[in-house]
Amino acid sequence: MSAAPQKAKPGAEQLAVRVSAVVPLNDLVTRFEFQRTDGQPFPTFSGGAHTVVTMQDDGRTRLNPYSLMSDPADTSTYAISVRRDDQGRGGSLFMHTRVKQGDEMTITYPVNLFSLDLRARKHLFFAGGIGITPFMSMIHQLEQSNGNWELHYSVRTEALGTYVDELKYKFPTKVHVYYDDQSQSIPLETLLDGQPLGTNAYVCGPKGMIDWVHATASAAGWPDAQVHSEEFLAPAPGKPFEVRLCKSDKTIQVGENESLLEAIERAGVEAPFLCRGGACGQCETDVVSYDGEFIHRDHWLEPEQQAGEKIMPCVSRFVGKSLELDR
């Protein structure tokens, strides 16, 4: 039983769980807590890990990744916090409207693509909105070893400041909150200046914020290896297209609102995946032939690989006459 990524295997190993609590936190965010149905303890995980939640939505299977935000050392309960996205593809709406306490669900073993670098002299966290979730478990982990950390958390309004009260109450000197509606913003350049050598920065939030932190740190001479980020992409909708899967000898249709990976799975073809958000590289698929244009949206492939060599079916799409994949 290993949670380590294994090639050519669809997803990490599964855990059967029961929803033990549904806790609305504000207008947009709700926390879901899980306990194992077999009564066994959960595996411990490392701060920043995520789990992929399987949702059975009227015959349609949705698989969405969420950061585990509970204490990594707590083996009785896992918790995720889900922000409702009314314009999204429906996974978060399903969680908010359909999932009730007592429901049985399936989640994967924890997978960590955003772990702490424990060699760091100091951990500097930048969170935007629901990007706070991985930092919740990282903070739990660091507090156990008296770690040196500092959180800078940007939220839209006081009412939408998920976990702000709890964090400020527990760590009044380490947590700094900035409210958009009060025209406050993270003083990034000032914060990056004068940090002790060996400080690592971590950012989770909207794409613009991630790019901003990377670019500003780079311009200030920070080593790239000491600036970490995580952004889960949701697969964007797009025009339907047809794909030939040559190993499986099947031709499938990818609908407007489903990802290529979901269409492959719907056809009964086992495809490897892990994060389903363009970050982990597990679902990398070879392109056999194509006539048209790719819409690459992943954070994984090199530009030369994106030029007709490979595709990440979890987030990327295709427009054109024909596409044949080695799957």
Binding residues vs other proteins (CB under 8 A):
119-121, 192-199, 218-226
Nearer to other proteins, 191 or 295 (CB): 191
Nearer to other proteins, 84 or 176 (CB): 176
Place of tokens 């920043």: 48
Report the alpha-carbon distance of residue 280 to residue 299 in Å, rounded: 8
DSSP string covering 77-88, please? -EEEEEE--TTS
Nearer to other proteins, 38 or 193 (CB): 193
Nearer to other proteins, 109 or 222 (CB): 222
Closest distance to other proteins from the beta carbon of 139 (Å) = 21
Nearer to other proteins, 121 or 239 (CB): 121
Helices in 27-163 by DSSP H: which ranges?
91-98, 133-144
Report the alpha-carbon distance of residue 33 to residue 44 in Å, rounded: 15
Strand ranges inside 205-296, DSSP E? 227-230, 241-245, 250-254, 285-295
Contact 229, 214 (CB under 8 A): yes
Nearer to other proteins, 220 or 307 (CB): 220
Question: How crowded is residue 31: how many other Cβ atoms within 10 Å of its Cβ?
Answer: 18
Q: Which of 191, 68, 200 is nearest to 138 (CA)?
A: 68
Contact 10, 262 (CB under 8 A): no
Nearer to other proteins, 133 or 229 (CB): 229
Helices in 21-173 by DSSP H: which ranges?
91-98, 133-144, 164-170
Q: Exposed (0-12), middle (13-18) or buried (19+): which is 255, by Cβ within 10 Å?
A: middle
Closest distance to other proteins from the beta carbon of 249 (Å) = 42
Closest distance to other proteins from the beta carbon of 124 (Å) = 9
